[in-house]
Amino acid sequence: MKLHEYQAKEIFRKSGIPTPNGELVTEVDQTTKAIQNVKGPPWVVKAQVHAGGRGKGGGVQLAHSPDQVVSSVQSMLGKPLVTKQTGPGGVIMHQVLIEEGIDIDREFYLSMIIDRAVAMPAMIFSQAGGMEIEEVASRSPELILKEHADPATGWMPYQGRKLVYKLDSPLSPEASRALMAIMANVVKLFMSHDCSLLEINPLVTTMDGKVVALDAKLNIDDNSLYRHKELHALDDPREKEPLEVEAEKYDINYIRLDGNIGAMVNGAGLAMATMDVIKLAGAEPANFLDVGGGASQEMVTKGIEIILKDPRVKAILINIFGGILRCDVLARGLLEAAKHTEIRAPLIVRLEGTNVEEGREILRNSGLKFLVAKDLAEAAELVAKQVS
């Protein structure tokens, strides 16, 4: 789950990571009052959307007067922001953050991720802040430093020293201490909030020697949300496709794609592979939909309903290899869906695995028109035929 910058910064401040002061605005009318509460000029007006690359798309604007702040806010609220991560339609800017401008001395990059290879959280620190870290990684990898947080000990002070005293030009003693304290607090925050990503780019030193997180990105591990109700409440469904929000309610993994073949599959790997097969057979998948290994009959019903709500869908491929999800459960779920929803697109069904005979029997006796494929190759051919 992704948090907005303003939400992340609130958590940062509570966790001992300084940020600029700022105020969130959701209506243009609130701007004047916000300006009074936030030091300036200059001010920085930042669109609060989950998509990255905001700056280049006009989602981050510098304002030198209250009037400029108002016109920036006006130009953003309710309007779409197009970045390289949003697609051509962009995302609507529902809220903006007005922040005090900061007098920047130096820019750094600081993040924490899960390093899968060693099964530990890792802090990534670089003196090349303010640019895309992937770019730094490919051009000058020696500028990227990595330090793991051992779960047995937590972050140790020497690790901060290792990073901070390795800088090409040293920081002042105060700034060094502040930076090391921030590093320790980043690790604590990361662990206590079950983060999957924490990124500060840039983390800056100011002309008066302070260290401040100018930007903030915070993702929470979805699997941990059961023990973080307060964080789960920060979820902003406006940032997602409506059908994805609906799927979430039923614990269905649904991701909207660009094509017109709806797909329902059990298991993430098979669902991805089925998308690939659809594409290689000459069609385009409209979605990724994994009902999960242990899907219930209700989830199957909801899955079909969600696919059918997408008007682009011209045919549906159901590819089920029964394991935890038994084929008879799938078949009953399909029948239930057909009772409530008109199955308006051709339905190609491929069933295999646990209780497959029972599942096929239920479909045969249902009176519904399914195109039953004997294997994946045949299923792909049938799909391609429907849209050609």
Smallest distance from other proteins to CB 195, Å: 9
- Please list, in sequence order, all residues whose beta carbon lies within 8 angstroms of the beta carbon of residue 352, skipping any fewer than 6 positions away: 320, 321, 322, 327, 375
**Is 255 one of the binding residues for other proteins (CB under 8 A)?**
yes
- Angle (CA) 235-239-240 rounded to 5° is 95
**Is 267 one of the binding residues for other proteins (CB under 8 A)?**
yes
Distance separating alpha carbons of residues 353 and 158, to the nearest angstrom: 54
Strand partners, 80: 92
Return the active site residues. 109, 199
Q: Which of 234, 273, 343, 345 binds other proteins (CB under 8 A)?
A: 273
Strand partners, 219: 2, 197
Return the half-sphere exposure (C-beta side, CA atoms, 13 A cut-off) of residue 186. 35
Report 87-126 residues binding other proteins (CB under 8 A): 114, 116-117, 119-121
- Omega of the bond leading into 42 within 30 degrees of 0 (cis): yes
Q: Are 186 and 198 in contact (CB under 8 A)?
A: yes
Report 225-244 residues binding other proteins (CB under 8 A): 226-227
Residue range at the interface with other proteins (CB under 8 A); choices 65-73, 163-171, 231-239, 288-296: 288-296
Distance separating alpha carbons of residues 178 and 163, to the nearest angstrom: 13
**Is 202 one of the binding residues for other proteins (CB under 8 A)?**
no
Q: Which of 14, 208, 375, 388 binds other proteins (CB under 8 A)?
A: 375
Smallest distance from other proteins to CB 67, Å: 37
Q: Which of 150, 165, 344, 364 binds other proteins (CB under 8 A)?
A: 150
Smallest distance from other proteins to CB 385, Å: 15
3-class DSSP assignment, residue 261: strand
**Is 222 one of the binding residues for other proteins (CB under 8 A)?**
yes
**Of 212 and 277, which has the nearer Cβ to other proteins?**
277
**Of 152 and 233, which has the nearer Cβ to other proteins?**
152
Distance separating alpha carbons of residues 5 and 137, to the nearest angstrom: 24
Distance separating alpha carbons of residues 68 and 64, to the nearest angstrom: 6
- Separation in Å, CA 1 to CA 174, 224, 233, 378: 35, 10, 11, 37
Q: Which of 98, 376, 382, 383 binds other proteins (CB under 8 A)?
A: 376
Strand partners, 88: none
Q: Which of 85, 140, 172, 365 binds other proteins (CB under 8 A)?
A: 85
Q: Which of 32, 294, 309, 344 binds other proteins (CB under 8 A)?
A: 294
Q: Which of 16, 55, 78, 151 binds other proteins (CB under 8 A)?
A: 151
**Is 276 one of the binding residues for other proteins (CB under 8 A)?**
yes
Amino acid at 34: A
Largest CA distance in the chain: 79
3-class DSSP assignment, residue 311: coil
**Is 330 one of the binding residues for other proteins (CB under 8 A)?**
no
**Of 71 and 253, which has the nearer Cβ to other proteins?**
253
- Binding footprint of other proteins on the chain (CB under 8 A): 85, 114, 116-117, 119-121, 133-134, 150-152, 191, 194, 196-197, 221-224, 226-227, 253, 255, 257, 265-273, 275-280, 285, 288, 290, 292-294, 320-324, 352-354, 375-377, 380
